[in-house]
Chains A and B, each alone.
Chain A
Amino acid sequence: MKNKEGILMKIMRYSFSIRGVLDEHNLQVVNRIATNGFMYLWIYTAVANIVMLFLPEAMITHSFTIGFVFINILVGFGGVSMYMSHQISKMKLNYQEVSKDEYPNAVRRAYRHGAWWGLLYGIYVYLITAPFNGFASWFTIGLTLFIIIVSWTSDTQREIGHIVKIH
C-alpha cells in the first residue's frame, strides 16, 4: 500500500518534518496543503512583480531592490513555510507513532534532524551577518554557533515531543 516517494516529496517530508506512513489519506492532505501553498506563492509572485514593473524608475534604487529581495524571501519563503508547517501540525502529520522498542531509534533520528536544521540555520545566519561584520569576526562566529545550538536543541526538543509511544 506504500507509495513510491519522489524527490520533491522527500524534500517536503524532511523540511516540514512529515513523519510516519504517507498513505493515500495522508498523501491527499499533503497534496491539498502543497497546492494551497503553491497558489499563495503564485499570487504573491504575480502581484509583487507586476507592482515592481510599474514603479517609477527613480524609486528603484539599489537599497530598494535589496529590500524587495528580502521581502520576497520573508513572504515567499518564510510565509509559505509557516503556512505549511502550521497546516502539517494541525493535521498531526508530524507526529510519529512508534513501538516501545523503536523509541530510542526515533529519538536518535530526532537528534540528527535537529543537528541538520541547526547547521542550516547556522549557515544562513553566517551568510547574512558575515558581509556586514567580517567573515572571521568573533561576533559572526559567536552568533552562528549560538544559532546552531539553539536551533539544534529546539528542533530536537520539538521532534521528540512529536514521538508517540504505542503499547
Chain B
Amino acid sequence: MMNRVREYRKLNKLSQFELAEAIGVARQTINLIENDKYNPSLKLCILLAETLGTDLNTLFWKVGETDEE
C-alpha cells in the first residue's frame, strides 16, 4: 500500500514525533508507514487521515493504482 503521509505531514507542518504523539503511536511506526515498510490497520489509517485533515482515498492507495484509476 502506498501513501502520502509524509507529504501531508509536511503540509501540516508536523514532525514525525509530533504526528506520532498526536495519534498515540511510536515515531518509528510513522517512519515505517512513510517509507512503505508497514501497512497500518484501518483504525490507524482513519486516525492518520483525520489528524492530517484529509481522507483515506487521498492518503492511501494500492500498489500499481494511480490517481486517474
**Chain A residues within CB distance 8 Å of chain B:** 1-2, 20-21, 23-26, 92, 97, 166
Contact = CB atoms under 8 A, between A and B. Distances in A.
A97 B32 contact: no
Nearest to B28: A92
A71 B30 CA distance: 43
Contacts, number: 39
Contact of A1 (B17, B23, B28, B38): B23
Given A1-B43, A1-B44, A20 B26 contact: yes
A97 B27 CA distance: 8
B17 A24 contact: no
Size class of the contact patch on chain B: 10 to 19
28 contacts: A1-B23, A1-B24, A1-B25, A1-B43, A1-B44, A2-B24, A20-B26, A21-B25, A21-B26, A23-B26, A23-B29, A23-B44, A24-B29, A24-B40, A24-B41, A24-B43, A25-B25, A25-B26, A25-B28, A25-B32, A25-B38, A25-B40, A26-B26, A97-B17, A97-B26, A97-B27, A166-B17, A166-B27
